[in-house]
Each structure stands twice: as C-alpha cells, then as structure tokens.
Amino acid sequence: MLHDSSARALRDAIVRGERGALEVTRAFLERIDALDPKLHAFLYVDAEGALAQAASVERKRREGAALGPLAGVPIAIKDNLCVRGIPTTCASRVLEGWIAPYDATVIERLRAADAIIVGKTNMDEFAMGSSNETSAFGPVHNPWDLERAPGGSSGGSAAAVAGGLAPLALGSDTGGSVRQPAAFSGLVALKPTYGRVSRYGLVAFASSLDQIGPFARDVHDCAIVSEVIAGHDPRDATSLEREVGSYTASLGEGVRGVRVGVVRDTLASGVEPGVTRAVERAIETLRALGAIVVDVTLPTAEHAVSAYYIVAPAECSSNLARFDGMRFGPRVEEGGLEETYGKTRARFGREVQRRIMLGTYVLSAGYYDAFYAKAQKARTLIARDYERAFEACDVVLTPTAPSVAFRLGAKLERPLEMYLADIFTLPASLAGLPALSVPAGLSEGLPVGIQLTGRAFDEATLFRVAAAFEAASDHHTRRPPAFFGGAA
C-alpha cells in the first residue's frame, strides 16, 4: 500500500520508474480527501501545486536529470511555515486569508530535493499549546483514538503522518512541539540543535527556542528529511555555519559502547506507569544491544517549566506585535487607531492572549529582573547540567511526555497543568540541544515515546541510537488500526 510505504521506498520506486510521481501524489491527495474530515489535520490542501510539482519531477526523470533525495515524496507542512502563493494562517483568526509572498528556506530546500508539498497542517494557534486544541479552526484528532489529542503544537503534522495522509511532515518545536506529538502519535521526530535549520520563513513564536523539525514513521526517513533541511542560511543570523555531515551514514553502526544516560531522580514524579514501563523496557533493549547505561542528573531541570514559560512568552509578546492589521491580515477597524489595534488583536485566541499578557508582564518595568533575567540565568544553569551529564554519557534518555495522548478537552482550561506536562521536552529546548522522540511501544493501545537528547550538533548519534533501538523492536511498525485496516 502506497500510504504505508516509507518515504525512501516511494522515492526509490519513483526513481526506478515503478511508480509515477503524479500517481503517488494523486493517491495521497485522495487519501487526504477521504480521511482528513475525521482528523482535521489539514488547514489547506494544495492539490494544484502538488500535482504541478509532481509533473515537474516526472519531466525531470524523463529528461534524465538527477532527482533529489525526496523525489516525488509528498510532505505536509505546518501552517506556520511560509509557502509562496498559498495561505499561512498559524491557525489564527489574526492571519486568516494571508497569502505568504515568499518561501521559507526549508521550503526552498524541500523543493530543491524534489519533495511534493501537499498542504498546510493544523496546529495550536501560533504554535502555543500542547494539544492542538488552541487552533482557531478546531482541534486535530489523534488517529489512534479520535477522542484524544494528537499532541501539540504540531498536531496536524503528526496526525497527517500517523494517519498515512502523508509519509512525511514538517513541524516546529519551541518547547517540545514536534517531540510530544510524535510520542502521542507513534512517530519519529527530531528537534535539531538550535541554529541547525534556518528559521527564515517560520512565523516566530520564541525566536531563541524555535527550530523546525520533521516527522516520519521511522528513523531513516526522519534522518533523510533532517539532512535535507539542515544547513547554514545567510538569511537567518542565528543559523550556524558548521558543517552538517551525514545523518544516514552511521544509522547501521549500532550502540555497542555508546553511553546512555538515564535521569532517575527529579523528573520521575507524575509519570504514568505505562510510560515508565516503556522507558524501562527501552533501557533494557539498549543495554542488551551493548549500550552502557549510566545514571545522570539534571538538577536545574525542575526549573525548566518556569524558565520556559517566562522566556517563550516574553519573546512571543514581542514577536506577535506585528500582527496589528496595519500591513497585512484582517483589521477590525473601530474608532481611532488605538481602538483598532486593540480590537484587531483581541482576535488572538485565549491561550495566545494569555502568553502575550504573561510575556508583556515579565518584560515590563519593575519585573524584568525578577522574571526574565532570572529565567535567562536558569537557562545557563540548565545548559551546564547537560555539559556535566555529557561528561558521563553520549545521549540522555527520558520519556518524551509523562503520559500517553490525553482526551481532548481534558486540560484546555487548565493552562498550568498543560504547561507542566512539557517537563521532559523543555530542558533540551532551553539548552538548544538536539532531541529526538522515537516510538517505544504502546500503553493501553496508545503510543509511548522516548526522548534522546544529544550534545549540540550531534544529531548523528541520536539517529544512530534511535535506529539501533528501532531495529531491535517492532514499535515503529505499529499503526493506528482505524487508518491502516487493523494491526500491521
């Protein structure tokens, strides 16, 4: 079945001429048409653009031109990434109807790799949320259980790949927004080292934390897309000039002698038993494969939630100031200038408003030192915790999230509870480190993910460890039955 194929299998079939790029694209577009009403993973499907791109891949093949590493492979794009000529809404009323006049750098790179952009995926409004319920256009449903959240904020991208509506997707991760939905949806997702992937064309939430990361159904596919989108971009001043190297070359090297650090203390509380069991099993699997398991501590990590929910809202309060209806986007024009500003911006949803308010408050006169300056210092300490941990190990292993996918509505009106559930993903974000979530089995029929955090720039080791783990288990072959006709 096409929709169950890996991206590289599709690409190979297209390159060999066993499948046409148009045929593959049409098949996924039809599947989106048929199944997305259940998931609401897409906010916009660009059938016309996708077919045109597929036709050009076929033309290139006929002409004997070299085909890119994602030739003819459909990919879904989170709706906070600018794709020229089609809407980019960030799932917000504030940006409703806005057509991006340019391509994000990652989009240019995907096009250069001959990938097929099929559409824009639903998300938490402006990527603020951990359940995809803050979307102004309605929530996404988890393919494993339609009553449950797919995770967030890149919930639409996760659901699209988990439901087989696209073999690949891009999301963005500020505090866990690709890793947590990957865990909730049984997928592999990477948050790269900060600066590894250009943010040009990613609508900013928190600029010092945002990174773009891919979703795939297995480690190899995730590594391929990661390699395509990584690399220096002169249009992003925070983009690193360091050589990327190959993420796929070392996938088969195994984990013998790799030191896996396990955090057993402070972070352990409040984790569901099913998640704990999956993590324990994963540790045993890795040990059996020859990895050296060591205990490490991240003493400052308990402050990560506070630090993150100061830094990210502070940056967001400034980043979202441009959504004022003056140059683009809808304007609610009532009374004078000040009233127009206020009414236009009151169209932000509740969670976004909450964060703008929190961020404005912590930056305002008299509070800056107690909150913002303090949080930035906590970041330094968290980064030092990791430095110390990486003296003893090569990757740090934790759960990705403390629970499996929760029910839609369960936490929506309890923001603090929602924030606390980000405890495992936030420390790596604050320290700018690469972190990957990989499936580690099911708990009560729902996927559990484990998170591997690596040294800065060392994505390759994360992929290598994850690949060895994946090869030793069948977790990644699990599919949501309702979308793949029973257990795989």
Partner 1 sequence: MTSTRYEAIIGLEVHAQLLTRTKMFCGCSTAYGLAPNTAICPVCLGLPGALPVPNRTAIAYAVRAGLTLGCTVRRASRWARKNYYYPDLAKGYQISQFDEPLNERGFLDIATSSGTKRVGITRIHVEEDAAKNLHGVGAGTDTLVDFNRAGMPLIEIVGEPELRSSEEAEAYLKALREALMFAGVNDGNLEEGSFRCDANVSLRPVGEERFGTRCELKNINSFKFVRKAIDYEIARQEAILSSGGTIRQETRTWSSTQGKTLSLRSKEQADDYRYFVDPDLPTLVVDDAWLEAIRASLPERAEARRARYEAALGLTAYDAHVLTAHPRIADYFEETAKALAARCARSLPLAQAGKRVANFVQAEVLRVVSTDGLEASFPCSPAYLAELLALVEDETINGKIAKDVFADVIETGKAPAEIVKRKGLVQVKDASAIEEAVRDVLARHPKERESFQGGKLSVKGFFVGQIMRALKGANPAVVNEILDRLLAEP
Partner 2 sequence: MSERISLDEVRKVAKLARLALEDDALERLRTDLGDILAWMAALERLDTSGIEPTFQAIEARGALREDEPSPGLRHGEALRAAARSSHGGFAVPKVMEGE
Q: Indicate which residues carry an active-site annotation.
A: 78, 153, 177
Using the minimum distance from each CB to partner 1, give the nearer residue, 1 or 237: 237
Q: Is 334 in the site for partner 1 (CB under 8 A)?
A: no
Residue 95 contact, options partner 2, partner 1, none, Cβ 5-8 Å cut-off depending on partner type: partner 1
Cβ 234 to partner 2, closest distance in Å?
A: 7
Among 35, 71, 188, 206, binds partner 1 (CB under 8 A): 206
Pick out residues in 341-380 that bind partner 1 (CB under 8 A): 341, 360, 363-365, 368, 372
Among 26, 324, 415, 443, binds partner 1 (CB under 8 A): 324
Who contacts 406 (Cβ-Cβ below 8 Å, separation ≥6)?
131, 148, 149
Residue 371 contact, options partner 2, partner 1, none, Cβ 5-8 Å cut-off depending on partner type: partner 2
Using the minimum distance from each CB to partner 1, give the nearer residue, 287 or 322: 322
Who contacts 63 (Cβ-Cβ below 8 Å, separation ≥6)?
none
The C-alpha atoms of residue 278 and residue 51 are separated, in whole angstroms, by 41
Q: Give backbone dihedrals phi and psi of 197, rounded to 5 degrees, phi first.
A: -115, 135
At 32, the amino acid letter reads I
Per-residue DSSP letter, 32: H
Q: Is 416 in the site for partner 1 (CB under 8 A)?
A: no
Residue 85 contact, options partner 2, partner 1, none, Cβ 5-8 Å cut-off depending on partner type: none
At 371, the amino acid letter reads F
Among 303, 464, 476, 478, binds partner 2 (CB under 8 A): 303
Most distant pair of Cα atoms in the chain: their distance: 70
166: left (phi over 0), alpha (psi -120 to 50) or beta: beta
Q: Choose the stretch contacting partner 1; rule: CB under 8 A; options: 12-20, 194-202, 287-295, 478-486.
A: 194-202
Q: Give backbone dihedrals phi and psi of 54, rounded to 5 degrees, phi first.
A: -65, -40
Pick out residues in 81-110 that bind partner 2 (CB under 8 A): 98-99, 101
What torsion do the CA atoms of 244, 249, 254, 255 make, to the nearest 10 degrees? Answer: -10
**Which has the closest alpha carbon to 350: 93, 151, 150?**
93
CB 169 within 8 A of CB 160: yes
Among 33, 147, 333, 474, binds partner 2 (CB under 8 A): 333
Among 56, 208, 276, 477, binds partner 1 (CB under 8 A): 208
Cβ 119 to partner 2, closest distance in Å?
A: 21
At 422, the amino acid letter reads D
Go through 447-475 and write b for each residue having 16 or more CB atoms within 10 A of its CB, e for each that does not: bbbbbbbbbbbbbbbbbbbbbbbbeebeb
Who contacts 366 (Cβ-Cβ below 8 Å, separation ≥6)?
none
Q: Is 202 in the site for partner 1 (CB under 8 A)?
A: yes
Q: Choose the stretch contacting partner 1; rule: CB under 8 A; options: 142-150, 198-206, 377-385, 457-465.
A: 198-206
Pick out residues in 251-310 that bind partner 1 (CB under 8 A): none
C-alpha distance across the termini of the chain, in Å: 12
Q: Residue 119's beta-bridge partner residues?
A: 45, 76
Among 356, 396, 446, 468, binds partner 2 (CB under 8 A): 356
CB 226 within 8 A of CB 459: yes
Cβ 214 to partner 1, closest distance in Å?
A: 18
- For residue 374, the number of C-alpha atoms closer than 13 Å in the C-beta half-sphere is 13
Cβ 458 to partner 1, closest distance in Å?
A: 21
Cβ 416 to partner 2, closest distance in Å?
A: 5
Q: Choose the stretch contacting partner 2; rule: CB under 8 A; options: 122-130, 268-276, 378-386, 462-470.
A: 378-386
Pick out residues in 188-247 that bind partner 2 (CB under 8 A): 193-195, 208, 234, 237-241
Q: How far is CA 362 from CA 62, 207, 221, in A?
A: 59, 17, 41
- For residue 174, the number of C-alpha atoms closer than 13 Å in the C-beta half-sphere is 28
Cβ 16 to partner 2, closest distance in Å?
A: 39
Sign for the CA dihedral angle at 197, 200, 204, 207 comes to positive
The C-alpha atoms of residue 22 and residue 84 are separated, in whole angstroms, by 21
Question: If DSSP codes are grouped into helix, strand and coil, which group holds residue 486?
Answer: coil
Pick out residues in 80-119 that bind partner 1 (CB under 8 A): 80-82, 88, 90, 95, 98, 100-102, 104
The C-alpha atoms of residue 74 and residue 96 are separated, in whole angstroms, by 25
How many other C-beta atoms lie within 10 A of the C-beta of residue 99? 12
CB 170 within 8 A of CB 75: yes
Q: Is 357 in the site for partner 2 (CB under 8 A)?
A: yes
Cβ 244 to partner 2, closest distance in Å?
A: 14
Cβ 277 to partner 2, closest distance in Å?
A: 29
Cβ 431 to partner 1, closest distance in Å?
A: 15
Using the minimum distance from each CB to partner 2, give the nearer residue, 257 or 336: 336
Q: Which residues bind partner 2 (CB under 8 A)?
A: 98-99, 101, 193-195, 208, 234, 237-241, 300, 303, 306-307, 309-310, 317, 321, 324-331, 333, 336-343, 345-346, 348, 350, 353-354, 356-358, 360-361, 364, 370-371, 373-381, 383, 415-416, 419, 430-433, 456
Binding site for partner 1 (CB under 8 A): 80-82, 88, 90, 95, 98, 100-102, 104, 199-204, 206-208, 234-238, 314-315, 317-318, 320-324, 326-328, 337, 341, 360, 363-365, 368, 372
